[in-house]
Structure 1
Amino acid sequence: MSDMLDKDRIRLMTKMSIYEKNHKDDFKIADYYRKDYASLKTWITLIWVTIGYAILFVSFCIYSSDSLSADLTIFKLFVLLIAAIAGYIVLLVIYGVCANSFYKRKHAVAKQNVKRYYRNLSRLEKMCKKEKNEQ
């Protein structure tokens, strides 16, 4: 019986060790509340989207500066700015909603994995106690 228990214990320890090695981030993620983690990561995503949008907008303006300045009127400039701002807001909303749901799901999975890890740790402790009692 001890031999079988020993094999189970080694399998469980191996499984837990592989999990620890491959999923280090799960422990960090699970330390946060879901709402806090999702909010923080969503804000970071929105900041990067803003930086990317600004770079693309400036690049577009530089690239098409000749054609824009040739027949630019105040009305065309106003329409261009409104379109750029509207596109930016739509992009932010889409990325914000998607990022928030993605990071909430990621947190839930990490929390579930960490819970399973601690459950296995408890099983391992019971196996060790049982083995000590048998000796």
Structure 2
Amino acid sequence: MLNEEKIKLMTKLAIYEKNIGYKDFEVNEYFKHDYILKNNLKTRIFVTLACAMLFGGHALLEIFVFLEERQSIDFIRYGLTYGALYLVIIICYSILSTKIYATEYKETQLRLSGYKKVLKKLNQFSEESH
């Protein structure tokens, strides 16, 4: 005989697994520190690439202006400016991404604890029927 409550629990589990559960299971494979570190590394790589493109474009612009006006370029000043800007940007993005991924990990753990509670209820129904 079918138990309506058991069917509801199984449906709830299936919906969770289909919609967001697969991502939660992937996140749960990592310890919190490792998850944050992995995603911080990805953030730093993309920020570095973006800065390289922006700074490279600005440097090319300065070179073209130098060639047209026949002035000298102060490479040390530009290098220090780019370096300082890069450090500020990378530190800000690192702090921001650490907070974002820590919150994401915490929310994932909360959802998974709810998932485990529903699984436990479902197991209780299975044990009662035997």
Question: TM-score, with normalisation over the residues of structure 2?
Answer: 0.88
How many aligned positions are there?
127
Question: TM-score, with normalisation over the residues of structure 1?
Answer: 0.85
Equivalent residue, structure 2, for 1:25: 23
Equivalent residue, structure 2, for 1:12: 9
Equivalent residue, structure 1, for 2:124: 126
How much has 1:94 moved relative to structure 2?
A: 0.2
The answer to whether residue 69 in structure 2 is matched with residue 72 in structure 1 is no
How much has 1:120 moved relative to structure 2?
A: 0.7
Structure 1, unaligned stretches of length 5 or more? none
User: What fraction of aligned residue pairs are identical, expressed as a percent?
Assistant: 24
Query: More displaced, 29-38 or 63-72?
Result: 63-72
Look up the equivalent residue of 2:82 and give its one-letter code. A
Counterpart of 1:97 in 2: which secondary structure?
Answer: helix
What is the root-mean-square deviation in Å for CA atoms of aligned residues? 1.7
2 CA distance for matches of 1:98 and 1:68? Answer: 37
How much has 1:77 moved relative to structure 2?
A: 2.3
1 CA distance for matches of 2:126 and 2:4? Answer: 12
Describe the superposition over 1:106-135 as per-residue Cα deviations: whole angstroms up to 9, x where unpaired.
1111111112111111101111222x24xx
Equivalent residue, structure 2, for 1:98: 96
Describe the superposition over 1:59-85 as per-residue Cα deviations: whole angstroms up to 9, x where unpaired.
222234222443224xx3221111111
**Stretches of 4+ aligned residues off by more than 4 angstroms:** none
